[in-house]
Structure 1
Amino acid sequence: MIRYAALLRGIMPTNPNMRGEKLREVFTGLGFDSVGSVLTSGNIVFGSTETDVPALESRIQRALNAELGIAGGTLIRSRDELQALVDAAPFGERTHGRGTYLTVTFVKNDAPGEPSRPLPPELGKVIDILGFDAGARAVLAVIDNSNAGSTPSHMAWLETMYGKDITTRTWLTVQKVLAKL
């Protein structure tokens, strides 16, 4: 049995169909084991013997769309992939806080690696792209959150690099997801 985390895009906890209990029901209905949710932002952990991750992502996304009307996106990482990312300590001694966000943007399996072009100058002042973790297929960034407009602009820039099949979590959320796996 492999332990996985499904990182769902576009989840709004205020929508009754996007709450943890509804999401867990879909995953349980698909036959997955030990289904649980982490926080309220679309993080579902589960067990499966399936090893074809793209097929698993498609199957889950179809079920979420059919049963709950959720058209977002599903990205899956195994426990081992997330453990390797956390063990690598990519943020070093930096800490996540109100003024500084440590973020991990997960991309689809077939997405390119390192960003192909630099941040625009206005974003470069408030965002530090630390690099790309190939094992977790994730862009690692530190955001100066004292500039309220930087996060949406950063997300838009990431979408120009990788398309809409991405989802971002804070470093604290990644650690919580791993702990639940």
Structure 2
Amino acid sequence: MTRYAALLRGIMPSNPNMSNEKLRGVFTGLGFESVASVLSSGNIVFTTGETPGAELEKRIQEALSAELGIAGGTVVRGYAELRALLDRDPFAGYTHGRETYLTVTFFKDSAHSRVEMPTDTDPRTKVVGYDDQARAFLSIIDNSAPNTPNFMVWLERNYGKNITTRTWLTVQRVVKKMESPK
């Protein structure tokens, strides 16, 4: 049995069909164990003996769509992958805060074999790099101005909707929850 995190795209906590209780219910109904939610933005941790990858992501997404009408995407990462990302500390020397977001954009397993670094991003976005092992794009976004930098638009335009972004703090919280499943 392995511990995983499902990072769901497009979850809006204000939508009654997207509540943590209902999301956990779908995962429990799929036969997963130790199902728990992290925050209220589509982060579900669970345990299963299934092999990770596209088939597991597809099975979860089909259940979310059929039972709750959630059409967004599902990206699954194992505990070891996320723990190793934290241990590599790609944001060393930076601090996540209200005006500076450290972000991790996760790609589905087979979404892209090669990720190109942007050359024309908003000046308020600093690209840290792409982490091959975690299959994740790492960036720092300056939120000090009232309008949001267009980096997320750039990511979606270049890589489609088979991605989902979390703040570094959220990734840390997900890993912590995976370490203590109750």
Band the TM-score falls in, shorter-chain normalisation: over 0.9
Give the letter for the 2:174 counterpart.
V
CA distance change for structure 1 residues 76 and 97 in 2, over 3 Å: closer, same or farther?
Answer: same
CA offsets, 1:114-173, max 9 Å, x none?
Answer: 64252425x0x100110011111000000011133334x211100122111111000000
Task: Spell out the pairing of 1:36-115 with structure 2 (5 A cutoff).
Answer: 36-112=36-112, 115=115
CA distance in 2, matches of 1:58, 1:6: 11
CA distance in 1, matches of 2:175, 2:117: 31
Q: Percent identity?
A: 60
**What is aligned with 1:170?**
167
CA distance change for structure 1 residues 107 and 120 in 2, over 3 Å: closer, same or farther?
Answer: same
- Count, aligned residues: 178
Partners of 2:117 and 2:129 within 8 A in 1: no
**What is aligned with 2:139?**
141
Give the letter for the 2:155 counterpart.
L
Partners of 2:104 and 2:138 within 8 A in 1: yes
CA distance change for structure 1 residues 60 and 41 in 2, over 3 Å: closer, same or farther?
Answer: same
* Residue 161, structure 1, aligned to residue 172, structure 2: no
**What is aligned with 2:177?**
180
The Cα RMSD (Å) is 1.3
CA distance in 1, matches of 2:163, 2:65: 17
Alignment gaps of 5+ in structure 1 = none
Alignment gaps of 5+ in structure 2 = none
* Residue 116, structure 1, aligned to residue 116, structure 2: yes
Aligned residue for 1:142, secondary structure, equals: strand
Give the letter for the 2:139 counterpart.
A
Task: Give the TM-score normalised by structure 2.
Answer: 0.94
Give the letter for the 2:141 counterpart.
I
